[in-house]
């Protein structure tokens, strides 16, 4: 049974949590053939590096991917904002990459292009692309993964993120149920956050009330984060992804507890403000369906 690493581990902190299904789809197959994966998921809020907007951003996320037996994969998805007062397609994603897997080692590299709606208030809304690499080693008792990524932003320097993740998979119901408790730690810079504050939190939506940072509304669009260029611990996360597979169907539920670190110091035309970060619980749920590229039944 092939063990494929979670592709784009940032999926667990943004919009790609449906990629859990990729691992299960591969494990469900008894062949090395190529396959397609269709997924429809729901996420109750958009969280990135423990950061979020003061207004929740719940998404419905349809996606479609092709995974070649060589390890090359392509995936496209959309994020539909479901707030009653702001229903729209908020984001398109296109990802391409390569996966590998051996007896102990697994990993991959990928590139993603982001196409946000101009009115998006997602905390990642100024990100235009990322390049991500993951390397994992199976210690049997626990699988340890190292993560590195560069995120490219509008009008600012790129961010660099490093992460360490540990997880273990428990099986039940004749290996149909997977329980995967996971702990992860991420460090990096905060240029993305500075751009978000300038264009969304304190820019496009200024005067709409008090945000999660506890600073209230400010009439300013020029924001500087003192720590933007510094390499700091940004987020600690605890998650328990659950999956149940039945034939070619994959049902998933992922609760996550995020403990953001390193409060930002914001400098605006109105003064200097110390951000207050709150711990946050968020979750996702989805259903996926995989099928062989050659139309074979691969039960």
Which CATH number goes with the domain that contains 153? Answer: 2.40.160.40
In a domain, 113, yes or no: yes
Residue 104 CB: number of other CB atoms within 10 A?
12
Host domain of residue 154: 9-292
What Å distances lie between residue 194 and 18, 217, 224, 266, 268, CA to CA? 28, 16, 6, 8, 11
Q: Which pLDDT score, from 0 to 100, does residue 2 have?
A: 34
Which segments in the chain show pLDDT lower than 50? 1-21, 30, 206-220, 296-299
In a domain, 271, yes or no: yes
Alpha-carbon gap, residue 233 to 161, rounded angstroms: 10
Position 158 scores a pLDDT of 95
β-pair type (265-268, 249-260): unpaired
| Max CA pair span of the chain | 64
Name residues whose C-beta falls within 8 Å of residue 40's C-beta, 6 or more positions apart in sequence: 60, 61, 62, 63, 286, 287, 288
Q: Which secondary structure element, helix H or strand E, spans residue 20, and what is its range?
A: helix 20-28
Residue 27's pLDDT is 58
Task: Give the pLDDT confidence score for residue 19 in this predicted structure.
Answer: 40
In-domain check, residue 4: no
* Residue 2, domain member (yes or no): no
In this prediction, residue 260 carries a pLDDT of: 96
| pLDDT for position 207 | 37
The answer to whether residue 181 sits within a structural domain is yes
pLDDT of residue 141: 93
- Global confidence as pTM: 0.84
Task: With respect to residue 1, please indicate whether it lies within any of the assigned structural domains.
Answer: no
Structural element, H or E, at residue 28: helix 20-28
User: How many domains does the chain divide into?
Assistant: 1
């Amino acid at each position: 049974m092939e063990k494929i690493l979670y592709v784009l581990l940032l999926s667990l902190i943004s919009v790609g949590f449906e990629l859990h299904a990729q691992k299960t789809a591969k494990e469900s197959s008894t062949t090395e053939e190529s396959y397609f994966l269709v997924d429809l998921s729901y996420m109750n809020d958009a969280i990135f590096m423990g950061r979020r907007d003061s207004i929740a951003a719940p998404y419905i996320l349809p996606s479609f991917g092709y995974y070649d037996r060589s390890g090359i994969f392509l995936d496209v998805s959309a994020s539909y904002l479901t707030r009653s007062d702001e229903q729209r397609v908020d984001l398109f994603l296109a990802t391409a990459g390569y996966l590998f897997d051996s007896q102990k080692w697994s990993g991959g590299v990928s590139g993603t292009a982001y196409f946000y709606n101009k009115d998006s208030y997602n905390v990642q809304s100024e990100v235009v692309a990322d390049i991500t690499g993951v390397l994992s080693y199976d210690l049997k008792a626990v699988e340890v993964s190292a993560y590195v990524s560069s995120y490219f932003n509008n009008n600012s320097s790129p961010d660099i993120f490093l992460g360490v993740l540990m997880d273990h998979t428990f099986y039940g119901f004749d290996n149909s149920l997977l329980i995967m408790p996971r702990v992860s730690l991420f460090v990096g810079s905060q240029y993305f956050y500075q751009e978000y504050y300038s264009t969304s939190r304190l820019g496009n939506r200024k005067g709409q009330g008090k945000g999660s940072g506890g600073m209230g509304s400010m009439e300013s669009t020029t924001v500087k984060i003192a720590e933007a260029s510094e390499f700091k611990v940004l987020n600690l996360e605890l998650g328990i992804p659950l999956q149940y597979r039945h034939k070619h169907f994959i049902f998933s539920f992922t609760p996550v507890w995020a403990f953001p670190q390193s409060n930002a110091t914001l400098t605006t035309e109105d003064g200097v403000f110390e951000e207050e970060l709150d711990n946050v619980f968020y979750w996702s749920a989805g259903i996926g369906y995989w099928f062989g590229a050659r139309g074979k039944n691969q039960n």
